Structure 1
Amino acid sequence: MSRKFAACLLIVLAIALVSCTPDRAPSRQQDVAAEAIATPSQPLDEFLNEASLAVVLRFPETITHLGIGEWIGVRNDQLMPLTHDYERETISLLEDLIEQLAQYDLSAVDERSALSARVYGWYLQDLLQAHRYSDHAYSVSTHLSSYPDTLERLLTRTQPLRSSVDVQDYMSRLGQIGERFDELIVRLADSEAIGATPPSFILTAAAAALRQTADQPPEQSDYYLRLGNGLLGISSLSQSVRDATLREAAEIIEKSVFPAYLRLSQAVSSQAVRAGDAIGVWRHEGGSEYYAYVLRKHTTTDLSADDIHALGVQEVSRIQGEIRDVAAALGFDPELDIRTLYAQLTEITGVATGQQTVAFCRATIDDIASIIRPAFSTWPNANIEVIEGQTSAYFSPGSLDGARPGQFIAPAARQQPLFALPTLVYHEAIPGHGLQTAFAYAADLPAYRAGMGFTAYAEGWALYAERLAWEMGAYQGDAYGNLGRLQAELFRAVRLVVDTGIHAKQWTYRMAVDYFQQNTGLDEAYARQEIERYAVNPGQATAYKIGMLKILELRDQAERELGEAFDLPAFHQAILEESDVPLVLLEELVSAYIERSQ
């Protein structure tokens, strides 16, 4: 985190005069929102700082994820209401802020301020559209984006537990789960009214998972265990206070949290009976318009579903050809189908699971840093913990205050072919998400740019990072690692075909699973997991390849126009120094880099 960033947050705090009292969040949000409706005579940066504070106060969980609560005088003790009334207030705020921002003449400010304003304007527009389409989004599913899952991760992984105040905040949020789940049940009914429900088999599985959570002793729940571990680290608390706190938590879990899980499970089970088996959003009222929105949201382009589908078919064919060439050079039969080739590779290299996976990932992170370092002109502090997870791999950014490091959640519960593991690490940690996030936190950016994310930029960089690691020699001595990298790129290309097939071309679940498995070489269980993800999180999976292709296109442009003057570290600096931006603005950043370098 840069000093300027922290200073900007303090300026925002001083301007907004935010109260530290934790139990009046809604009124405080409304007051700050009113102050943020500025006149164009107010300096642009000042307006945007105040506007960003007004927006982030609507999302208390985001404040916790960013780790900025102390800076802006807000406790980590509230869960955002899920009601339509609260959402309408947020929509009104966003509309007002967008209207005010449009009154500024960006040609009258310096280029960097204008860029940041355009980025924030894009973010506000997207956030507004997300709220307008909220009934189309699936709030309960088997995916990581399911509200119960995100809530549990918030409390068991992200919520700070370093002081007695943190304990109070944890208990406050724990006590609000029942109310939020009841609000969620109402929203599920609203979604069902427009046909926006996941397919029956996903709802059935989600209901079972909710019921399983509630069918355990409170003392065995993750909520209780996280609190217990946190209390052990707070030396100022006596043992009697710890014991009393845990007894209170067990009572809240037993009498409030678990009954709410059961109510939600029953509501989801009821929906499952009526949901049907179709997996695409095309069946929603207004589903085609919603899908067009999520494609634009995640790719930050105007590419249509047909455009993306055709691009995917083309990329699948190209990458499969490259795989066959590489495999043939290693002595494999070039006529082998993709599934057989990768099955043989798995037999040759073996698999990892559990702590073996975690240890492999840690060692790979240590090794890659020195290999990849020459590709960058600067090197931020990228402190990454490797955490044993379940079947999904993902990166969880650290807090802006540095108290919580970035975490790579390794998929330890699933067997991982050893030829594929290095590429997974390069994507999630270094030089992928972990390094890109470190650049963002070290960047000298305005406060209002914090927490903004654009899928095509972030996932495009992470997929590009897999290729960059190969280009920098990370697979030297690993005869099969490049085939793992190519398979990873291939299945991102397959996503372009499958996601659009599901949501725009009315593919069935079986069609999607078969296409995925036949064209990636990944097993049936993995294929099913991926297809269920695309079904409940439409559009997101298309961003990886779209973003990567754009970065490669821009690199080719820079190499072509600069010739011998092209410098790879300088190019990466141009890509990373402004952090997350929509792809159209990334094009402008690279054009500016080219102009500076000529």
Structure 2
Amino acid sequence: MSRRSVILRLCTVAVVSALAAGCVRTDSVGNTTAATTTAPTTAPTTALTATTSTTTAAPAPTSTTIPSIDALVEGLADLPFAEFLEASYGRLISRDPEFLTSLRVADRYGLGNDRLNDLSDSYLRQTQNLESAILELLHARDRDALSPAEQTSYDVYEWYLDELVRGHEFMYHDNPIHYFLTSYNDNLLRLFTEDQPMATKGDAEDYISRLKQIRTQVDQLLEGLEIRRDMGVVPPRFILLR
């Protein structure tokens, strides 16, 4: 994971907090109240929950099914603004099951703790397409029609998505293998020794399931390293010779 990715991860918490604080709803008599979402007691309060609507939301991804981009954006354009924020962000973060495990919120997004991240070029570019599509949906909203608090949420979310989209062309301008924090090897070790739940038989089965996926993930990582090599992006000599 690059330094930029770490910064964006940290910004994720700020984005979630700002969106949750900024969204408001108005009741039938015109009184404005803060929109609230009840979170499970085991989940961090800063995590944004995905919408629970069964009529407008696309099917949540599971440990064996990854929806297409069309399925993920389906229905988002018709949602009220607050629900759009929650649903679209939920669909973005569900692309990163390891991150959800670290936040202890995988079950809230329809995922288990049994999948490693897909590092293949095709999946990464599909995620980029989703980020671009959600930004376009956000821009299709009439910002002037929103309340002041919602406009703040709009601006924060726009900044977050714009940072992601502008970084697409630099997706391979990093070195995922090194001897410092945020490296692939360090993240994988932390996942299995600190983040992965190990309280039940099901947790143990999830652990084993993820172990079996390491070879595939390493192959995907090697694919990315070959792309970087062809672009001339290689680690510094002192990393290679260490």
- TM-score, scaled to structure 1: 0.32
Give the aligned partner of residue 184 of structure 2.
147
Give the aligned partner of residue 23 of structure 1.
64
Give the aligned partner of residue 461 of structure 1.
none
Cα shift readout 1:366-396 (whole Å, capped 9, x = no counterpart): xxxxxxxxxxxxxxxxxxxxxxxxxxxxxxx
State how far apart, in whole Å, the 2-side matches of 1:141 and 1:196 are: 14
Give the aligned partner of residue 131 of structure 1.
168
Cα shift readout 1:279-334 (whole Å, capped 9, x = no counterpart): xxxxxxxxxxxxxxxxxxxxxxxxxxxxxxxxxxxxxxxxxxxxxxxxxxxxxxxx
1:33 to 64, 69, 72: 72
State how far apart, in whole Å, the 2-side matches of 1:14 and 1:204 are: 54
Cα 1:72–1:78 shift into 2, 3 Å: same
2:114 to 62, 66, 77: 77
Equivalent residues, number: 201
Instruction: After TM superposition, list the pairs within 5 Å mapping 1:79-478 onto structure 2.
Output: 79-205=116-242
The letter for the 2-side match of 1:6 is T
Cα shift readout 1:179-213 (whole Å, capped 9, x = no counterpart): 111111111111112221121111233xxxxxxxx
State how far apart, in whole Å, the 2-side matches of 1:113 and 1:187 are: 39
- Asked if structure 2 preserves the Cα contact closer than 8 Å seen for 1:20 and 1:75, the reply is no
The letter for the 2-side match of 1:4 is T
Cα shift readout 1:56-92 (whole Å, capped 9, x = no counterpart): 1111112112211122221011112111111121111
SS of equivalent residue, structure 1 residue 23: coil
State how far apart, in whole Å, the 2-side matches of 1:110 and 1:139 are: 42
State how far apart, in whole Å, the 1-side matches of 2:77 and 2:187 are: 34
Q: CA RMSD in A?
A: 2.5
Deviation at 1:11, TM superposition (A): 6.1
More helix by share: 1
The letter for the 1-side match of 2:177 is V
State how far apart, in whole Å, the 2-side matches of 1:31 and 1:21 are: 16
Cα 1:146–1:124 shift into 2, 3 Å: same
SS of equivalent residue, structure 1 residue 98: helix
State how far apart, in whole Å, the 2-side matches of 1:188 and 1:180 are: 12
- Asked if structure 1 preserves the Cα contact closer than 8 Å seen for 2:172 and 2:227, the reply is yes
Give the aligned partner of residue 36 of structure 2.
4
Which structure is larger by alpha-carbon Rg, 1 or 2? Answer: 1
State how far apart, in whole Å, the 2-side matches of 1:151 and 1:36 are: 35
State how far apart, in whole Å, the 1-side matches of 2:133 and 2:58 are: 21
- Asked if structure 1 preserves the Cα contact closer than 8 Å seen for 2:61 and 2:94, the reply is no
- Asked if structure 2 preserves the Cα contact closer than 8 Å seen for 1:9 and 1:72, the reply is no
Q: Unaligned 5+ residue runs, structure 1?
A: 206-598
Cα 1:130–1:174 shift into 2, 3 Å: farther
Deviation at 1:37, TM superposition (A): 4.3
Q: Unaligned 5+ residue runs, structure 2?
A: 1-16, 21-34, 40-46
Cα 1:36–1:117 shift into 2, 3 Å: farther
Q: Percent identity?
A: 32
Cα 1:154–1:52 shift into 2, 3 Å: same
State how far apart, in whole Å, the 2-side matches of 1:20 and 1:199 are: 38
Cα 1:64–1:36 shift into 2, 3 Å: farther
State how far apart, in whole Å, the 2-side matches of 1:123 and 1:178 are: 33
Cα shift readout 1:487-540 (whole Å, capped 9, x = no counterpart): xxxxxxxxxxxxxxxxxxxxxxxxxxxxxxxxxxxxxxxxxxxxxxxxxxxxxx
Cα shift readout 1:34-67 (whole Å, capped 9, x = no counterpart): 325414xx32111111111110111111211221
Deviation at 1:129, TM superposition (A): 3.0
Give the aligned partner of residue 11 of structure 2.
none
- Asked if structure 2 preserves the Cα contact closer than 8 Å seen for 1:159 and 1:170, the reply is yes
The letter for the 2-side match of 1:22 is S
- TM-score, scaled to structure 2: 0.74
The letter for the 1-side match of 2:64 is D
- Asked if structure 1 preserves the Cα contact closer than 8 Å seen for 2:50 and 2:108, the reply is no
SS of equivalent residue, structure 2 residue 180: coil
SS of equivalent residue, structure 2 residue 52: helix
Deviation at 1:10, TM superposition (A): 5.7
The letter for the 2-side match of 1:189 is E
2:96 to 28, 40, 59: 59
State how far apart, in whole Å, the 1-side matches of 2:219 and 2:49 are: 37
Deviation at 1:4, TM superposition (A): 2.8
Q: Which has the higher contact order (CA 8 A, sep 6+)?
A: 2
State how far apart, in whole Å, the 1-side matches of 2:50 and 2:215 are: 37
Deviation at 1:101, TM superposition (A): 0.4
